[in-house]
Amino acid sequence: MMLDMFMLSLFSIQIAFLANGHIYIRYMSQGKHAEARELMYNGALLFFSYNQQNSAADLSMLVLEVLEKSDTKVEDEILENLAKLFSLMDPNSPERVAFVSRALKWSTGGSGKLGHPKLHQLLAVILWKEQNYSESRYHFLHSSDGEGCAQMLVEYSSSRGYRSEVDMFVVQAVLQFLCLKNKNGASVVFSTYTEKHPSIERGPPFVQPLLNFIWFLLLAVEGGKLTVFTVLCEQYQPSLKRDPMYNEYLDRIGQLFFGVPPKQSPSYGGLLGNLLNSLMGSGEEDDVAEEAHEDSSPIELD
């Protein structure tokens, strides 16, 4: 009996879906974009509640279609609705990847930039709750939430990392924040991580040389003196060799904050170049924070 009632409910929803489709077309033709968006959003939530993933994903895409075809301004409520739809999608579905890519593109005016920081922050929290730490980390990097990023990294390190790599989790994040010209994010993620992590003794100075390096680096970035930066990198080379990416990031940081001339090659090559370009967008020398790249795949944390 209960199964029959459930099937009847699904049938009723399918009928409503067809009816809503006609209403959606009429709303769009009349320029009633807000009404069309609300209709598709509520319909998607209804299908999600019955675990009808495909139909729900179709309606979620129509929500984005309305946004793309209208002059709707980016507002927190809309970003929260998009994040809600994202959270309800099957994490392993290709529709989810397509949805988040389009949502991020719309949130920055369809210009191909990396996405609105608020939307990145909302996505990062959702992925954090799913314990998808690497993708959460990517989105935190493009948000303005350094504190949230640090707390996620503490959990990531404590649950998945080796004790000997406790410093490496935050070092890479700080360097990448700096590569995105986000000095404040770099500082906040470092101070919060070193304060909250149970395996790090209170500093500075710290027991781990890499943490001391980052502390000095953040001070050097504020001062902007090339000689200080150069000596710092030389003195800590043994520790920096723990990850071959560190010196690549420092090359970029040297260009951005200390006036170091770029390498003769217009862009980095090979695997390291792909990782840098994935993080920073197209790799333009003077406008790294503004240039974009539509690929929302994360940079893996080693």
pLDDT in tens, 149-197: 999 999 999 999 999 999 999 999 999 999 999 999 999 999 999 999 9
Residue 271 has pLDDT above 70, yes or no: no
pLDDT tens per residue across span 195-242:
999 999 999 999 999 999 999 999 999 999 999 999 999 999 999 999
**Per-residue pLDDT at 294:** 34
55 against 22, higher pLDDT: 55
What the chain holds in terms of domains, given with CATH numbers, is 145-264 (1.25.40.10)
User: CA 210, CA 192: separation in Å to the nearest integer?
Assistant: 16
**Per-residue pLDDT at 280:** 55
Banded model confidence at residue 29, pLDDT cuts 50, 70, 90: confident
User: CA 177, CA 175: separation in Å to the nearest integer?
Assistant: 5
Please, what sign has the CA dihedral across residues 252, 253, 257, 260?
Answer: negative
**Per-residue pLDDT at 291:** 37
pLDDT tens per residue across span 255-268:
999 999 987 654 55
129: enclosing H helix or E strand: helix 117-129
Banded model confidence at residue 27, pLDDT cuts 50, 70, 90: confident
pTM: 0.83
**Per-residue pLDDT at 3:** 39
Which of 24-28, 107-111, 260-264 is the least confident region?
A: 107-111
**Per-residue pLDDT at 278:** 63
**Per-residue pLDDT at 297:** 35
Q: How many CA atoms lie within 13 A of 27 on its CB side?
A: 21
Percent of the chain with pLDDT over 90: 72
**Per-residue pLDDT at 211:** 98
**Per-residue pLDDT at 265:** 58
**Per-residue pLDDT at 114:** 85
Contact 36, 59 (CB under 8 A): no
* Phi, psi of 292, rounded to the nearest 5 degrees: -130, 175
Who contacts 119 (Cβ-Cβ below 8 Å, separation ≥6)? 79, 82, 83, 103, 104, 107
| 76-104: average pLDDT | 97
Residue 133 has pLDDT above 50, yes or no: yes
Contact 33, 72 (CB under 8 A): yes
User: CA 215, CA 213: separation in Å to the nearest integer?
Assistant: 5
**Per-residue pLDDT at 25:** 86
**Per-residue pLDDT at 290:** 38
| 7-36: average pLDDT | 70
User: CA 219, CA 156: separation in Å to the nearest integer?
Assistant: 27
Secondary structure in 3-state letters for 36-82: HHHHHHHHHHHHHHCCCHHHHHHHHHHHHHHHHHCCCCCCHHHHHHH
108 against 21, higher pLDDT: 108
**Per-residue pLDDT at 6:** 43
| 109-125: average pLDDT | 87
